[in-house]
Amino acid sequence: MRRVYLDNNATTPVLPEVLEAMRPYFGEHFGNASSIHHHGQETRAAVERAREAVAALLGCRAAEVVFTSGGTEAENLAIFGLARAGDHVITSTIEHHAVLNACKHLAEYRDKYPETQGCEVTYIPVDGRGLVDPADVKRAIRPNTKLITIMFANNETGVVQPVAEIGKIAADADVYFHTDAVQAAGKIAIDVSKIGCDLLAISGHKMHGPQGVGAVYVRKGTQLEPMLYGGSHERSRRAGTENVPGIVGLGKAAELAIAGFERGDDLKMAGARDHLERALLGIEATGLNGADLNGERAPRVPNTTNIYFDGIDGEALVIALDLKGLAVSTGAACSSGAIEPSHVLTAMGLRPDRAKSSIRFSLGKQNTAEDVDFALGLVPETVARLRDLSPVWPKSAVSR
């Protein structure tokens, strides 16, 4: 059976060049990158080459890149590395749980142990397009605000936040600014100096690198309290023997991402995504009624579209499409099976039933125009079939 994978925001396949770059570091080049002998020097050099590549992707110095075990650890290091008892932290209602739950923990600590003060957290809402208003961020700043953590691109809708404006506000107020760029890296160009952030997190497996490796940009001079205690790896910012094959893979993925931008792959991908969207929504010939975009009219990364299909249950549609060979999702992979509708879509003001009828399609570098056609061949008929079975979908509202 033909299988097409359009769930690249959950994870991306490792590109063949990335796998090839990693392979020797599972075998012949096995040294501990901290060892001073030949074997260690060989892997140390590979780690430092990867650091240069990630720095080139982010527009920073190599010394400002700290490798971690993934996006979640990178977010946690940024947040817990800075926030202290008595501090105030600003975030948004649409963050990934790696940020939301870290912030929740900061605030819970305050509730549990009031004598320690803990941290207070302000959650900035978004508008119907899924955008944070920088003016709201500015208004939320208090004398004890230590950190603003607002994501670059949302994992469910692909909506890109006004991070450069927020960076400016943070700098003017002398507040640290962290941005979760896990869903932006490799999809749109990133330049930390243009964003004006102090910290920025990325993850290997969202950009065709391996799972279990990530990095955080830490602006020179930013004093981060480490989360792990051990050796003095990563300039004492992240203890633990480096995951050399993973880091090499992330470095190669960063190099390929830069080459992709130079070729205009991002524009091509936006074209494929727009075709999928227009065809599903009826702007082209075969559209469906009772369906529309979530996050319309907002700037988005080129690979993501999130669409609601009235009258269907999103999970039922994901399963029905999977049975026919198409992999998509209802949103974040880590929220699969959740009873509650997506916190991102409801924060944008979607009715809970619409949020539950929403599907995320996310393209990757491996996808072709034929993959999009395959999806277009399946989605309208599957939606129509599920609606026919639905007790809530009026039979008069025939799917076109």
Contact call for residue 371 and ligand PLP (CB under 6 A)? no
Three-state DSSP state, 327? strand
Write down how long the chain is: 400
- Which is nearer to ligand PLP, 202 or 375 (by Cβ)? 202
The CA distance from 152 to 202, in Å, is 10
Binding piece for ligand PLP, criterion CB under 6 A, among 50-58, 142-150, 178-186, 268-276: 178-186
Q: How many residues form the binding site for ligand PLP (CB under 6 A)?
A: 15
Q: Least distance from C-beta 124 to ligand PLP, angstroms?
A: 16
Return the residue of 47, 54, 77, 98 that touches ligand PLP, per CB under 6 A. 98
H or E element, residue 268: helix 265-281
Q: In this complex, which beta carbon is closest to ligand PLP, that of residue 119 or of residue 153?
A: 153
92 binding ligand PLP? (CB under 6 A): no
Which residue is associated with the tokens 């209602």? Answer: 93
Q: How far is the CB of 339 from ligand PLP (least distance, A)?
A: 20
Pairing of strands 326-327, 145-149: unpaired
User: Minimum distance between the CB of residue 68 and ligand PLP, rounded to whole angstroms?
Assistant: 9
Minimum Å distance from CB 332 to ligand PLP?
6
Considering the complex, what minimum distance in angstroms separates the CB of residue 341 from ligand PLP? 18
47-62 CB burial, b ≥16 within 10 A, e <16: bebbbebbbebbebee
Residue with tokens 């963050």: 95
Of the candidates 306, 309, 356, the residue with the CA atom closest to the CA atom of residue 336:
356
Among 79, 169, 182, 250, binds ligand PLP (CB under 6 A): 182
For residues 328 to 367, the per-residue mask of contacts with ligand PLP, x marking binding by CB under 6 A and - elsewhere, is ----x-----------------------------------
203 binds ligand PLP (CB under 6 A): yes
Rounded CA-CA distance 359/364 in Å is: 16
Q: Is 70 in the site for ligand PLP (CB under 6 A)?
A: yes
Question: Please, which residue, 12 or 382, has the CB nearer to ligand PLP?
Answer: 12
Burial class from Cβ neighbours inside 10 Å (0-12, 13-18, 19+) for residue 171 reads middle
Contact between 96 and ligand PLP (CB under 6 A)? yes
Q: Which stretch binds ligand PLP (CB under 6 A): 66-74, 76-84, 186-194, 312-320?
A: 66-74
Smallest gap, in angstroms, from Cβ of residue 359 to ligand PLP? 17
Name the pairing type of β-strands 4-5 and 176-180. Answer: unpaired
Cα–Cα distance measured from residue 264 to residue 258, given in angstroms and rounded to the nearest whole number: 10
Do 184 and 214 touch, CB atoms closer than 8 A?
no
Work out the burial of residue 259: count CB atoms within 10 Å of its CB; fewer than 13 is exposed, 13-18 middle, 19 or more buried.
exposed
Q: Which is nearer to ligand PLP, 90 or 344 (CB)?
A: 344
Pair 92, 124: CB distance under 8 Å: yes
Distance CA 205, CA 399 (A): 37
Among 8, 12, 43, 72, binds ligand PLP (CB under 6 A): 72
Tell me the catalytic residues. 334
**Shortest spacing between CB 378 and ligand PLP, in angstroms:** 25
Of these, 7, 42, 87, 180, which contacts ligand PLP (CB under 6 A)?
180
CA distance 9 to 306: 11
Per-residue x/- mask for ligand PLP, residues 136 to 175, rule CB under 6 A? ---------------x---x--------------------
Q: Which residues bind ligand PLP (CB under 6 A)?
A: 70-72, 75, 96, 98, 151, 155, 180, 182-183, 203, 205, 214, 332
